[in-house]
Amino acid sequence: MRLLIDLDGVLYRGRRALPGVRELFEWIEARGHSYSLVTNNSTRPPDEVAAQLRGFGLAVPPDHITTSALATARWLHERAGKGARVQVLGGPGLLQAIFDPALGFRPDWYSPEWLVAGSDFDLTYQKLTAACFAVQRGAQFIATNPDTTFPTEQGITPGAGAIQAVITLVTGIRPTVIGKPEPAIYEMALRTMPENGEVVVLGDRLDTDILAGQRLGLKTVLLLTGVSTREEAETGEIRPDFVFEDLCHFLAHADDL
Ligand SMILES: [Mg+2]
């Protein structure tokens, strides 16, 4: 089995690991399954995510983590040659992924061929203006993830999708989106994993995790430890193949899916 596993609402919630998370990784190891943790968050590089997971007692190698930043960098690598001029609106995770020396992209704020927009906690009017100019002048507009909001302990803050929406309002041009619910991020994650049987998506959101899986024809499992509810899963437009209360209930049935 190849598992594509969401993070927040599936493995942990805020600062607390969710029930069954250690047992999940023990089960994966015992059965020889492969997995990638797939997150729309582009701001943190995989080693930071791995460090957070270590705090929950989970030893996940950074190369088993696919962020929307990494998926975007891989996607761009398949389309843009070495030396391509790229402007990035984003945090350290996105900058590190796109300007990985192995890819050979050049940062360019004046005549970029590509504009990559994610979450940028140091966003300024100047950067937003430069991004709008880039798109007006023909740069291809790529979005790491479409989430309009980003939850924090103080409240809801603007997510990558809100920043991208400003560029779209100004230029009239919509981005190509890599993150969930678009399927590209899962496709990129699967390329890093061995061919190892059926693919199963584990997620807590119908409109992102589950929809992206369905768009690729994958088996989908909704866990009720995050955003979406059983009622939404049973009455809404997006119906997952399986719904479980939490990882413990999933593990009780996981060998028979
Ligand atoms: Mg989630």
Question: Above 80 in pLDDT, residue 99?
Answer: yes
Catalytic choice (8, 147, 204, 209): 8
Catalytic choice (6, 120, 147, 204): 6
- Domain region containing 247: 2-40+180-256
Q: Is residue 145 part of a domain?
A: yes
Q: For residue 167, give Cα distances in angstroms to 90, 114, 159, 207.
A: 14, 14, 13, 23
Q: Is residue 67 part of a domain?
A: no
Q: What proportion of the chain, given as a percentage, has pLDDT over 70?
A: 100
How many domains does the chain fold into?
A: 2
pLDDT score at 153: 78
pLDDT score at 155: 87
* Per-residue confidence band for 131, with pLDDT thresholds at 50, 70 and 90: very high
Q: Are residues 87 and 166 in the same domain?
A: yes
Task: For residue 222, report the distance from its CA to the centre of ligand 1, in Å.
Answer: 10
Q: Identify the domain boundary among 159, 177, 195.
A: 177
The answer to whether the CB of 220 falls within 8 A of the CB of 7 is no
Residue type, 180: K
pLDDT score at 14: 80
pLDDT score at 172: 98
Q: Are residues 155 and 208 in the same domain?
A: no
Does the annotation count 256 as an active-site position? no
**Residue 34 belongs to domain with CATH number:** 3.40.50.1000
Average the pLDDT over 81-103 and give the result. 96
How many whole angstroms separate alpha carbon 247 and alpha carbon 241?
15
* Per-residue confidence band for 69, with pLDDT thresholds at 50, 70 and 90: very high
Per the omega criterion (within 30 degrees of 0), is the bond before 19 cis?
no
pLDDT score at 107: 97
Task: For residue 81, report the distance from its CA to the centre of ligand 1, in Å.
Answer: 33
pLDDT score at 196: 87
Task: For residue 143, report the distance from its CA to the centre of ligand 1, in Å.
Answer: 19
Q: For residue 32, give Cα distances in angstroms to 25, 148, 246, 248.
A: 10, 37, 22, 19
Q: Which tokens is 251 given? A: 């593990």
Average the pLDDT over 241-257 and give the result. 97
Q: Identify the domain boundary among 155, 177, 199.
A: 177
Average the pLDDT over 100-120 and give the result. 96
Does the annotation count 6 as an active-site position? yes
Q: Are residues 89 and 162 in the same domain?
A: yes
Q: For residue 186, give Cα distances in angstroms to 37, 109, 129, 143, 192.
A: 10, 30, 31, 15, 10
Average the pLDDT over 232-254 and give the result. 98
Q: Mean pLDDT for the chain?
A: 96
Q: Are residues 200 and 245 in the same domain?
A: yes
Average the pLDDT over 133-153 and give the result. 93
How many whole angstroms separate alpha carbon 139 and alpha carbon 150?
26
Task: For residue 105, report the distance from its CA to the centre of ligand 1, in Å.
Answer: 31
Residue pLDDT, tens place only, 194-222: 998 999 999 999 999 999 999 999 999 99
Q: Is residue 223 part of a domain?
A: yes
Q: Is residue 66 part of a domain?
A: no
Task: For residue 170, report the distance from its CA to the centre of ligand 1, in Å.
Answer: 30
Residue pLDDT, tens place only, 8-58: 999 998 888 999 999 999 999 999 999 999 999 999 999 999 999 999 999
Average the pLDDT over 171-177 and give the result. 98
pLDDT score at 151: 77
Q: Which tokens is 162 given? A: 């809100």
Q: Is residue 107 part of a domain?
A: yes
pLDDT score at 133: 97
Task: For residue 73, report the distance from its CA to the centre of ligand 1, in Å.
Answer: 22
